[in-house]
């Protein structure tokens, strides 16, 4: 078994971080096995909400340190972020339950239900493993599947009394609410942050695929953590397409991956790097893990399961477009985690509707110029509007600082400014811009490629923003606000975009539950970049397709409507390519054969 360069002189702590679905868990598990085979002892810890360490090693793990039966020398622990967040949320709310009105309790609960609370609660759980040497004294190495973001670490370094900041009503936006219960653990956090920034104790492994969105995320993480003094980083490019002479689709994808690696951002290009090859089957079990870092892994022969649904039966995107085209106006939103292709899918839907004669406005957080290049020309009936999320955030930050910020001292302004840099705050800021597009859906079709989560919508409602204020002003009169428009299935159709892989689908399930809390039921799901729907030629990719089929079946149980978009040999650029994306599987098959 070969091993990556980052294992040479590996420090005590190693964090594997990256977008969902890039292979963080597989990389962490394979590293643990490699170290154990060298005779070292390892504690493998997951803070990933979609953790499947137990599945990889074939035994249940859970929230207690558990020895792995198949891998002597490795113990594992799965910290469930949702459970940690619920426990943390209750620790803050329970002291005031019964003392405050139920409306205030609901507001507090929603403020403590976002991604920032989950991140902080997870950090709260594993900080003790880092800060208390006695907890990990029996291990040579502690490996973490997922790492804290730069935003979370900056929050933990903020000065001042967070609890007082909240009590005085100065930080009621998104993140400082979750900070209210952490004051007593400041010493633990300081020790943890010190360990993270010590290159002799910690290495950060940035896991990515050779795809633009995943590399962009790795570059952003690299930049953020380097600015915080965490410069001991290693880049792991996972799952490169192997050389398959019998498959034009594989050859085209491999060429595209090589172009991505040849043009890496300079910040990443200067990092030490490890690459791994795509495995035909899910990396499950010790034998598969031992091949994870191999430069030429064994490629199993395709063995079709007769119980699997034939790929040709999967509904194409054009079926959904035909249903959407029955409307002359309305709001269609694509949602999903970064990297699943929701912007491309939204653009393909907008192009297809425009080709059917509908008047369409496409609103996106991507700069309009880039979309124009993607379309490679104008499309009749299609208008593109620009929403710059950074500009929207700056405008919102300036507005809050000019109101709440005027009453704060320097420390308070620093705390408020950190809160205003959170992902939740940016969602709020962008949603304010989206509200203008929502109104335009009265007169034409509006396609939006990003939507706020259910938490953000409820947070806007619970904190007395636009929705509640409008209801207060109008009294008992019926009023349509952005939230009520999004809740109306006749006006708005939300479409979740995911990939045919375990982690992105689990994340999409959480997004659906999140929206349902806001009384929004997604209209359809789209499974994007499916090898099974592309009808590959090689035995290797047939085996990859077999692994997708159970995931696609799982999606079918989660939604009344679904479409499967095939993996294309090249990124869809230009109207013709975007047009083919929304067509049926036979067209995708001809595209992959070119």
Taking only the tens place, the pLDDT of each residue in 392-431 is 888 888 888 888 778 777 777 777 777 677 666 777 777 7
Identify which has the larger pLDDT, 156 or 193. 193
**Which of 294, 285, 300, 282 minimizes the C-alpha distance to 29?**
285
Q: How far is CA 25 from CA 146, 212, 373, 441, in A?
A: 8, 21, 36, 42
Q: What is the pTM of this model?
A: 0.80
Q: Is residue 476 packed enough to be buried (19+ CB in 10 Å), middle (13-18) or exposed (0-12)?
A: exposed
Planar angle of CA 357, 359, 363, nearest 5 degrees: 130
The two tokens of residue 166 are: 């909240």
Compute how many other C-beta atoms are within 10 angstroms of the C-beta atom of residue 65.
15
141-145 and 13-17 beta bridge pairing? parallel
- Model pLDDT for residues 160-182, shown as the tens digit of each residue: 444 444 445 444 445 555 555 56
Please name the residue that has the structure tokens 């091949």. Answer: 291
Q: Is residue 530 within 8 Å of residue 567, measured between CB atoms? A: yes
Question: Which residues partner with 524 through β-bridges?
Answer: 495
| pLDDT classification of 300: cutoffs 50, 70, 90 | low
Q: Please list, in sequence order, all residues whose beta carbon lies within 8 angstroms of the beta carbon of residue 177, skipping any fewer than 6 positions away.
A: 108, 111, 112, 117, 166, 171
Q: Any catalytic annotation for residue 24?
A: yes
Q: Which of 18, 20, 23, 171 is catalytic?
A: 23
Are the beta carbons of 532 and 548 closer than 8 angstroms? yes
pLDDT value of position 459:
55
Decide if 503 is catalytic: yes
Give residue 454's pLDDT band: very low, low, confident or very high (50, 70, 90): low
- The catalytic residue among 17, 18, 19, 24 is 24
456 is catalytic: no
Handedness of CA 205, 18, 294, 243 (dihedral sign): negative
Domains defined along the chain, listed by start = 5-77+125-161+185-290 (3.40.50.300), 314-592 (3.40.50.300)
Furthest-apart CA pair in the chain: how many Å?
Answer: 72
pLDDT of residue 167: 47
Q: Which is it for strands 562-566 and 445-448: parallel, antiparallel or unpaired?
A: unpaired
Q: Is 26 an annotated catalytic residue?
A: yes
d(CA 444, CA 439): 10
Confidence of residue 72 (pLDDT cuts 50, 70, 90): very high
* DSSP H/E element including 385: strand 382-386
For the sheet with 360-364, list strands across it: 382-386, 360-364, 445-448, 330-335, 492-498, 524-530, 562-566
Q: Quick check: is 465 catalytic? A: no
Cα dihedral sign, 270-276-278-284: negative
pLDDT at 40: 96
- Verify whether residue 553 is a known catalytic residue: no
Quote the Cα angle for 72-73-75, to 5°.
Answer: 100
Burial of 71 (0-12, 13-18, 19+ CB in 10 A): buried
Residue from 17, 18, 19, 25 carrying the catalytic annotation: 25
Of these residues, 47, 364, 503, 543, which one is catalytic?
A: 503
Catalytic residue among 20, 31, 48, 146: 48
- The residue-averaged pLDDT of 31-45 equals 95
Dist CA 468 CA 403 (whole Å):
20
Residue 19 has φ and ψ, to the nearest 5°, of: -65, 160
Active-site hit among 17, 18, 20, 26: 26
Render pLDDT for 461-515 as a digit per residue (tens, 0 to 9): 554 444 444 444 444 444 456 778 888 999 999 999 999 988 889 889 988 988 8
Radius of gyration of the chain (CA): 24
Per-residue pLDDT at 590 exceeds 50: no
Bridge partners for 335 per DSSP: 496
Share of the chain above pLDDT 70, in %: 79
Q: Catalytic residue among 21, 114, 412, 547, which? A: 21
- The residue with greater pLDDT, 364 or 195, is 195
Active site residue 409: no
- Beta strands across the sheet bearing 202-209: 66-67, 74-78, 42-46, 141-145, 13-17, 202-209, 233-240, 273-277
């Amino acid at each position: 078994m070969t091993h990556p360069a980052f294992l040479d002189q590996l420090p005590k702590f190693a964090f594997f971080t990256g977008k969902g679905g890039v292979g963080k868990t597989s990389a962490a598990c394979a590293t643990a096995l490699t170290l154990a085979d060298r005779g070292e002892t390892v504690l493998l810890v997951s803070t990933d909400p979609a953790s499947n360490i137990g599945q990889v090693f074939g035994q249940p793990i859970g929230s207690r340190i558990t020895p792995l039966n198949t891998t002597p020398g490795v113990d594992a622990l799965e910290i469930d972020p949702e459970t940690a967040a619920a426990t943390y949320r209750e620790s803050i709310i329970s002291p005031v339950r019964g003392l405050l009105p139920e409306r205030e309790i609901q507001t507090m609960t929603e403020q403590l239900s976002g991604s920032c609370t989950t991140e902080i609660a997870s950090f709260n759980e594993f900080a003790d493993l880092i800060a208390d040497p006695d907890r990990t004294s029996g291990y040579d190495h502690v490996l973490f599947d997922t790492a804290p973001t730069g935003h979370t670490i900056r929050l933990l370094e903020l000065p001042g009394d967070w609890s007082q900041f909240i009590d005085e009503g100065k930080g009621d936006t998104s993140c400082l609410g979750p900070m209210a219960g952490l004051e007593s653990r400041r010493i633990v956090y300081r020790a943890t942050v010190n360990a993270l920034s010590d290159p002799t104790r910690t290495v950060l492994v940035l896991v990515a695929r050779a795809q633009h969105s995943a590399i962009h995320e790795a570059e952003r993480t690299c930049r953020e953590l380097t600015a915080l003094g965490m410069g001991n980083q290693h880049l792991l490019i996972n799952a490169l397409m192997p050389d398959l002479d019998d498959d034009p689709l594989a050859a085209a994808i491999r060429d595209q991956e090589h172009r991505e690696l040849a043009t890496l951002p300079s910040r990443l290009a200067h990092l030490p790097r490890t690459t791994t090859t795509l495995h035909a089957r899910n990396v499950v079990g010790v034998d598969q893990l031992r091949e994870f870092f191999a430069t030429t892994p064994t490629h199993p022969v395709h063995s079709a399961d007769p119980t699997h649904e034939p790929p040709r039966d999967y509904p194409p995107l054009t079926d959904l477009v035909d249903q959407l085209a029955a409307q002359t106006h309305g709001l269609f939103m694509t949602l999903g985690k970064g990297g699943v292709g929701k912007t491309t899918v939204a653009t393909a839907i907008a192009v297809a509707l425009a080709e059917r004669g509908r008047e369409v406005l496409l609103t996106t957080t991507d700069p309009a110029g880039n979309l124009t290049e993607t379309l490679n020309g104008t499309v009749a009936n299609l208008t593109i509007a620009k929403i710059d999320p950074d500009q929207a955030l700056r405008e919102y930050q300036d507005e809050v600082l000019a109101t709440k910020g005027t009453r704060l001292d320097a420390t308070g302004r620093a705390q408020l400014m950190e809160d205003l840099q959170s992902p939740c705050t940016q969602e709020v800021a962008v949603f304010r811009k989206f509200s203008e597009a929502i109104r335009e859906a009265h007169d034409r079709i509006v396609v939006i490629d990003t939507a706020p989560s259910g938490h953000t919508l409820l947070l806007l409602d619970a904190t007395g923003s636009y929705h509640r204020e409008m209801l207060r002003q109008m009294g008992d009169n019926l009023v349509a606000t952005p939230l009520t428009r999004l809740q109306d299935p006749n006006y708005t159709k939300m479409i979740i975009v995911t990939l045919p892989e375990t982690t992105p689908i689990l994340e999409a399930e959480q997004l659906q539950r999140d929206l349902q809390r806001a009384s929004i039921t997604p209209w359809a799901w789209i499974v994007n970049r499916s090898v099974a729907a592309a009808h590959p030629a090689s035995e290797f990719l047939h085996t990859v397709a077999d692994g997708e089929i159970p995931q696609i079946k799982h999606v079918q149980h989660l939604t009344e409507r679904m479409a499967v978009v095939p993996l294309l040999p090249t990124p869809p650029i230009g109207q013709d390519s975007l047009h083919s994306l929304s067509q049926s599987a036979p067209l995708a098959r001809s595209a992959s054969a070119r």
